[in-house]
Structure 1
Amino acid sequence: MPRIPLHRFIAIAVVAFFLILSYYHEDVSQTFVPAFKDTPVEDHVSPPSPPSPPSPPSPPSSPPSPERKPENKPENAPATTKQVAQAHETQQAETSKVELHISDVDDAAFLHDVLKKNNVEPDINYVMRTIRYITDAKERPMLTNTSQELFPLGWKKVKLDGINKLPVDTLDPLEIHVMKSPRPDEIDASELLFGVSTTYKRFNDKVEGPVKEWVRWLTDGNGTSNGAGLVLQLHETTDEQLAAAHKLLTDVGIDATVIHSDPSLDMPGRYVDLVPILYSHPSRASRKYLALIDDDTFFPSLGALMKELHSYDPDKENYIGTLTERVDFIMHDRVPMAYGGAGVFITNPLARTLIGLPCLDVNPLTGEYTESGFQGDRLLYHCIKNHTSITLNYLPRLNQLDQWGDPAGFYEAGHQPLSLHHYKSWHHARPEISHLVSDACGESCVFQRFGFDGKGASKWVLNNGYSLAEYPTGIHWDMSKMESTFDLGDANSWASGKEDVRLAFAYGALREGLSHTGKKRAWEALGGRKRADGVVDMIYVKRRGDHRWIGEHEKEEDRENVVGTGLHRAWWGLWSWSSCCMWYMLPVHSMSVDCSWLAGVLGLDDFGMRMKMGGEVRIEIEMGDEMIWDKWGWN
C-alpha cells in the first residue's frame, strides 16, 4: 500500500476532527450553522366535510348596487398615508422575534392524531415508503416515469389504538430526480408587498381563517419572514381585535401591518382603497411589485412567481394578472381584467398614477361608482381603462379556479401553478399541507407527478403533496390532458349534442373522468409535518366510504387505507479546498467552516470532497484522480 504524504494525512485528520466534533457536540455544530430549533410542529387541521357544491348562479344580468354608498373624500389618500405610517411604526415597535420550534413526534402518535382530526377510523390498511429527492434534473416534466415498484411488500393491517410503533419501511429509498428549485427557507421575497381586505370574523375563523396558509408562503417555514410584506385591512374591527390579529401574524413570522378599513367604503371600494394604502406603506420604496389578493389566495411557487414578474419592468406602469378560466364568464363580463382571487400585481408607477385618479368617485344621483364596478377587481380595471392607455399583462400561470366540484383534475395535472384560489369555497383543497413537500424537494416539485409500477398491470402516480393515485388496469390514455373532474353547473345549457367548452380556453380538451369506473383509486393528502432532521412526512388516505373509487361490480373495503411517505433531501456537491474546507450535515447536526487558509498552506487545489446525504450519508475524499477514503451507510 502506498504511503500517504504528510500534507494529505493532515488534511484527512482535520476533516475527521470536524466530522466527529459536529456529530457529538451539539453546541459546536450550532455555532456554525444553527440547527433546527426544537419546537412543536404546526397542526394541520382539516375543515369539516363540506356540503355538496351548490349549483353556480347564472351571471347577473346587471351589476348590483354597492352595499353601502361610499363618500367621495378627496382627502382620503393623505389620511390613509398617515394611518399606515402610524400603524406600522406602532406595530413594529411591539413586534419581537418569534421562533417556531420543530420537534420529532412519535410516528404512530402523529399518524393517529392526523386520522383522528380528520375523522378517519383507527383500523387501517397501512403502507409506508421512503423517497429521496436528488436535485440533478434539467427540467420539470409533466410526468416523470420510473421503473421502480412502489409497494412490493404490500399492505399491513394496523390497529392504531393498540400499537406504539408503526411498521418500518425496510426497503431502500425510492430515488426521484427533480429540478433544483428554492425551498421556503431559501427565498427572498422582499420585493413584494401584498394587500388584503377582509373581516376579523373571517380572519379569526377556525376554518376560513387564512393564517395557516399564509405562513407557508409569507415565511421561511421556521418562524421568520421571507421578506414579503403584508398589509391587512380589517373591516368592522375593534382596536383589541386589530392588536390580536397583528400578534397572531407576527407570532408565526409574518411581516404584517394591520389597520382599520375606511368605514365609509363598501367591499369594492375597500379593495381599490388598498392601492393608496400599499403605496403609502413605509417599506414601499424597497418593493418592486404591489399585489392585491383575496384572503384565500395561495402562492405555492413564490420564487417562480417573482421570476415571471421580472419580465415586467418595475419602473414602468404595469398591470399584471390573469383572466378567469371560464369562457362563459369572460363572454358575460366582456372585460379583459385581472381577476382578483388569482392575484393582481401593479408596479409603483402605476400605483402612483391610480392615486390621482377618481377611482372611487360616486355619482350623486345613483349612488354608484362613476367607474362602474360592483366588484373590486372590475372597479380597478375600469379606472385603469378609462383614464390610462394601460392594458392587462396576461400571466396565465396565475389561477382564479372558478369551478366547483372535485378539483383533482387541476391539482393532478402535473402543472406548477403560481397561485391558487377558492380552495375553501368553490372547491376544497389543502394547499398548506401540499406545500410541505417543498421543504424537502423545493417549490417546483409541489404537485409534480411521478409514476411507479404496481402489481401486475397496475400503475401508480404520486401527485406530490396532493394525492397518490392507483390505476389498477394500467394507464391507457393521454396523461398530458387534464382529467375532467369539475362541476360547472347549469349543464342543461350545453345539451343538444354540444360539447362543454367552458374550460377549453384555459385547460384545452379534457380527458374523460375516471371516478366510479374502477379504473382509478386515489389517496388524498390529509396531513404532513417537517421533522427536525429536514425529513417531511406526508399522510395520504383513501376513505372506506369514498364511492368515487368503487367500480360497478366492486365492493366497499372494510378498512380505511393509509399511505405514509418520508421525503428526504439528497444533496450532491463537489468542493475545492480553494473555496471551502468542508460542508457536513447529519440529520440533526450541521456546520460549515471556511478553511481556504488550509488549502493555501497545504497546496491542496486538487483536493475535493463529494457528499450524498439524506437519511444516509456518503462521503468521498479525492486527491486528483485517486480515491483515498470512502464511507457509506452512516445514519
Structure 2
Amino acid sequence: MELRSSLAPVSFLVFLRGFCLIFHFFPPLPEKSIVMLFNREGAIPASWAWKRMLRFVVIFLAVAGFATLLWPSHKQHATPMRTQSNNITISSKVQCDPDVDMLNRLNIKKLADYTRREIVVDFNPDPLAVKQKVNQPLWDTKLTGITNQEEGVVQDGCSVSAPLTLQVPVPPKSTDASHIDFGVATTVSRLNESLDQFQHWAGYTRTRIFALIEPDETKKGVQEVKIKAENLGINLFITESADDYLHRYFALVSLLEKNMREETKWACIIDDDTFFLSMPALVDALAEYDHTKPYYIGGVSEGLPQIAVFGIIAFGGAGVFLSRPLLNDLAVVYDDCQQMTFTGDRRIANCIYQYTTTHLTIDHRLHQLDLMKDASGFFESGREAPLSVHHWKSWFQADMPKLSVISNLCGESCLLRQWHFGDGWVLTNGFSVIKYSLPIENDIAMEMTWEPHNGATDESYLHELGPLRQRDDGKISFQLVDAVSEPNGRVTQWYILRDNDGDQVLELSWRKR
C-alpha cells in the first residue's frame, strides 16, 4: 500500500486543525477595531497589521502544503509486491498462492505474473499439418476468480476457466528397433548423465547401445550405470579401453561389426549428446533406404565454414549410419584406417572414401546443429520435426529430455507441433510460447536467432536451413523450463518469461479427452 493512500483519511482532519491554529494566533477583530482601521484619527499602527497578516500567510501555506503531501494521488505506481517466508517476492497481480517448492525448482526469486491453462488433447486419425490455427486466444480474458457456489467450484485466481482443446495425431505404436545398433565413445560419468536422454528413444525398443569408455578404476561406476540402464529399459553394453578418445571413436566401427547379430541392418555412431526425437520416425526413415547395399548416411553441418574445415562428411553429432554391407567392407580395411591421422568422424569418412566406392547420402532430417547461443529459430520454425539434434547442452541450451516429456501423453509426433492462437500467441509444444512483433511475410522462413560462427554469413546456412528471415528482436518469448508427468496421467509444463522486474509463468496442464 502506498504511503500517500494510507494517510489520505487523516489529511482532511489535519487541514481543519491547521485552520484552528490560524484563528488561535489571529482571532477575529472586534467591530470597533475594524472601524478604526479605516479611521485616520484612530488608525492601528501599520507594523501591527502587517505582522498579523504575515503570521496568517505563513501558517496557511504550511497547512496547505502538508495537506497536499498527504492527499490521495491518482498517479500510477509500480505493482506492489509481497514477500513469502522463503524470500520469494510475489506481485499483487498474482491472485493465487503458487507452490513454493515449485517456484524454487523453477529458480524464481521475483514472481510478476502466474497463469494456469488446461489443455485437452483430441487425437485425430487424419493427417494434420505441423502448424495449426486456433481461433481461441491462449490468454483468455474472461477467467479468474470465478466462484460457483451451486456447483462448488472455486477458481484460485490464476487459472483460466475454460479448457482449451487442441488436435494432435494419433500416437505411433511402440516400435521394434532391434535391427539398429548404436555406438558411443564417452566416459562413465557422461554415460550416466546421458541415460535419461537415451531412455526417450532407446528405452524398451530392443535396440542396443555399445559404449566404449575410459577405464573405470573403481568399477563401481560401471555397475551403477548398468543397473540404471536396465531400469530404464535400455540394452546397454559397456567396454573399457585405454585408447584416447579419437581412437576409441573410430574403434566403434570394429566393435559394432563384431557384435552384429542376424537381424542387424544398421549401425549408428553417435555422440553422447545426440538426441533422437522419435524412434518410430527413425525406423521409418531408415526403411526408405535399401539396407542390403552399402550406405553411408548422415547430415552435414548447417554452417558452410564448418564444412570448409571438416569436409563433406557425416557429422557425428547428427548420427553416422552405416549399412551392414558397408560395415563389412570397413572391417577388411579397419587396421589401415586406424593409422589415419584424421579425427573421429573425419576418419570414418576418409576411410570410406579411400577404400570403397560409397559416398555420403545426406539426410536433411539429421542435424548436427552447429548453431551458437540461440537456436530458438530452428525449433520454432513450424517445420517437420527433425530426426536428430545435437549441441543442445553446449553450443546452445534446449533441454531435450524436458521437451520430450509431453510425448508421454500424446506421443513423439506431439513434439514441436505448433498452434497459432487468435490473440497472436504461438505455442511450439515443449519448447516455447511466443508472440512476434514483426509481420511474417514468408510463412516457411526460419528466423535466424543464432550467432554466426567461424566467419559465417547469412548465406552460409541456406543449404540446410533456408528459407531464412531476420531475427525479431521485439519477440516476446516464454521458454520451457520444466515439465513433469503426473501420477494421474497428466503432463504439466512451465513456460517462463525471465525479466529483471519479475518472472512471468505460464503453466500448461495437459490431459487426454
Interval containing the TM-score (normalised by the shorter chain): 0.7 to 0.9
What's 2:58 paired with? none
Establish whether residue 305 from structure 1 lines up as the match of residue 293 from structure 2: no
Partner of 2:464: 506
Partner AA of 1:525 in structure 2: L
> Structure 1 residue aligned with 2:364, among 396, 414, 423?
396
Verify the 8 A CA contact 2:270 2:319 in the aligned structure 1: yes
Conservation of the 8 A alpha-carbon contact between 1:245 and 1:258: no
Distance across 2 between alignment mates of 1:154 and 1:292: 53
Change (3 A) 1:227 1:529: same
How far apart are the structure 2 equivalents of 1:402 and 1:130? 36
Equivalent positions of 1:437-476 (< 5 A) are 437-454=406-423, 459-471=424-436, 475-476=439-440
DSSP-derived class of the 2:353 partner: helix
State the shift of 1:296 in Å: 0.3
Partner of 1:561: 504
- Residues 344-364 of structure 1: CA distance to partner in whole angstroms, max 9, x if unpaired? 1112222122111145556xx
Q: Distance in 1 between matches of 2:441 and 2:508?
A: 27
User: What's the CA shift for 1:134?
Assistant: 2.2
Partner letter of residue 503 of structure 2? E
**How far does residue 167 in structure 1 lie from its aligned partner after superposition?**
4.9
Contact conserved, 1:359 with 1:383, CA < 8 A, in 2?
Answer: no
Q: Tell whether the 8 Å contact from 2:106 to 2:481 is kept in structure 1 after alignment.
A: yes
In the TM superposition, what whole-angstrom CA distance separates every residue of 1:67-120 from its partner, at most 9, and x where no partner exists?
xxxxxxxxxxxxxxxxxxxxxxxxxxxxxxxxxxxxxxxx988x6444323421
User: 1:559, 1:155 → 2: CA distance?
Assistant: 23
- Give 1:155 deviation, angstroms: 8.8
TM-score with structure 1 length normalisation?
0.60
Counterpart residue identity of residue 131, structure 1: I
Could you say which residue in structure 1 is the equivalent of 2:200?
216
Which residues in structure 2 correspond to 1:427-438 (within 5 Å)?
427-438=396-407
* Alignment match, 2:8: none
Q: Which residue number corresponds to residue 269 of structure 1?
A: 247
Q: Equivalences for 1:113-512 in 2 at 5 Å?
A: 113-121=101-109, 123-136=111-124, 138-153=126-141, 167=157, 169=159, 171-182=161-172, 186-204=174-192, 209-219=193-203, 225-238=204-217, 239-261=219-241, 263=242, 265-281=243-259, 284-333=261-310, 335-359=311-335, 369-370=339-340, 372-373=341-342, 375-415=343-383, 416-454=385-423, 459-471=424-436, 475-490=439-454, 493=455, 500-512=458-470
Task: Give, in whole Å, the separation in 2 of the partners of 1:154 and 1:474.
Answer: 27
Flag structure 1 segments of 5+ consecutive residues without an equivalent: 1-106, 158-164, 220-224, 363-368, 546-557, 570-613, 615-635
**Does structure 1 conserve the Cα–Cα contact (< 8 Å) formed by 2:435 and 2:477?**
yes
The answer as to whether partners of 2:297 and 2:320 remain within 8 angstroms in 1 is yes
CA contact 1:242–1:260 (8 Å) conserved in 2: no
Change beyond 3 A, Cα 1:390–1:361: closer
| Identical-residue share of aligned pairs (%) | 29
Does the 8 A contact of 1:323 with 1:400 survive in 2? yes
What's the counterpart of residue 548 of structure 1?
none
Distance in 1 between the 2:348 and 2:337 partners? Answer: 12
Letter paired with 2:390 = H
C-alpha spacing 1:113/1:254, structure 2 compared with 1 (3 Å): farther
1:215 touches 1:253 (CA, 8 Å); kept in 2? yes
Q: Deviations over 1:416-441 (max 9, x none)?
A: 01001001111111010111112222
Equivalent-residue separation in structure 2 for 1:270 and 1:464 (angstroms):
37
* Alignment check: 8 A CA contact 1:127 1:564 kept: yes
Instruction: Confirm or deny: 8 A CA contact 1:231 1:256 kept in the other structure.
Output: yes
What is the CA–CA distance in structure 1 between the aligned matches of 2:313 and 2:128, rounded to whole Å?
30
- The secondary structure found in structure 2 opposite 1:130 is strand
Deviations 1:453-493 (A, max 9, x none): 22xxxx1000110001123x674443321111101245xx5
Q: Is the 8 A contact 1:543 1:560 kept in 2?
A: yes
Three-state SS of the structure 1 residue aligned to 2:275 is coil
Does the residue aligned with 1:249 lie in a helix, a strand or coil?
A: helix
Give the Cα separation in 2 of the matches to 1:166 and 1:359.
69
Give the structure with the higher percent helix: 2
* Distance (whole Å) between structure 2 residues aligned to residue 468 and residue 128 of structure 1: 13
- CA gap 1:361/1:308 in 2 versus in 1, 3 angstroms: closer
| Distance in 2 between residues matched to 1:192 and 1:388, nearest whole Å | 22
Taking a change above 3 Å as real, the CA distance of residues 359 and 468 of structure 1, as seen in their structure-2 partners, is: farther
Q: What's the offset of the Cα at 1:121?
A: 2.1
Distance 1:170 1:537, change over 3 A: same
Structure with the larger RCO, 1 or 2 (CA within 8 Å, 6+ apart): 1
Match of 1:523 in 2: 478
| Most deviating of 382-391 and 251-260 | 251-260
CA distance change for structure 1 residues 533 and 200 in 2, over 3 Å: closer, same or farther? Answer: same
For the residues of structure 2 that align with 1:112 and 1:256, how far apart are their CA atoms? 39
Aligned length, in residue pairs: 407
| Equivalent residue letter for 1:227 | R
Question: C-alpha separation between the residues in 1 aligned to 2:507 and 2:108?
Answer: 15
- Code of the residue aligned with 2:421 in structure 1: it is F
Amino acid at match of 1:521: I
CA contact (8 A) 1:343 1:419 kept: yes
Structure 2 counterparts to residues 107-118 of structure 1, below 5 A: 112-118=100-106
Alpha-carbon distance in 1 for matches of 2:185, 2:440: 47
Matched residue SS, 1:379? helix
Q: In 2, are the aligned partners of 1:467 and 1:540 still within 8 Å (CA)?
A: yes
Distance 1:288 1:543, change over 3 A: same
Give the aligned partner of residue 18 of structure 2.
none
Report the CA distance shift for 1:227/1:113 in structure 2 as closer, same or farther (over 3 A).
farther
Counterpart Cα distance in 1 of 2:97 and 2:289: 49
CA 361–353 in structure 1, closer or farther in 2 if over 3 Å, else same: closer
Q: Deviations over 1:561-598 (max 9, x none)?
A: 111111223xxxxxxxxxxxxxxxxxxxxxxxxxxxxx
User: Do the aligned partners of 2:304 and 2:461 also contact (CA within 8 Å) in 1?
Assistant: yes
| Cα distance between partner residues in 1 of 2:272 and 2:143 | 40
CA contact (8 A) 2:188 2:213 kept: yes
Q: Given the superposition, is the C-alpha separation of residues 480 and 116 from structure 1 closer, same or farther in structure 2, using an over 3 Å criterion?
A: same
What is the correspondence of 1:602-613 to structure 2 with a 5 Å cutoff? none
Shift of 1:525: 0.7
Structure 2: where are the runs of 5+ without partners?
A: 1-95, 146-154
Letter in 2 for 1:404: M
The structure-2 alpha-carbon separation of the partners of 1:155 and 1:233, relative to structure 1 and needing over 3 Å to count, comes to farther
Structure whose CA Rg is larger? 2
RMSD: 2.5
Question: d(CA) in 1 for partners of 2:160 and 2:126?
Answer: 31
Q: Distance in 2 between matches of 1:210 and 1:476?
A: 38
Partner secondary structure for residue 404 of structure 1: coil
- Matches of 2:143 and 2:496, distance apart in 1: 13
Give the 3-state SS of the residue equivalent to 1:145 in structure 2: strand
Q: What letter corresponds to residue 206 of structure 2 in structure 1?
A: G
The answer to whether the Cα contact below 8 Å between 1:217 and 1:302 also exists between their aligned partners in 2 is yes
| Alpha carbons of structure 1 residues 140 and 108: separation in structure 2 relative to 1, 3 Å | farther
Deviation at 1:531, TM superposition (A): 2.0
SS in 1 for 2:114: strand
Distance 1:445 1:351 in 2: 34
> What is the DSSP-based 3-state SS (H/G/I as helix, E as strand, rest coil) of the residue aligned with 2:358?
coil
Distance, in Å, in 2 between the alignment partners of 1:522 and 1:328 is 30
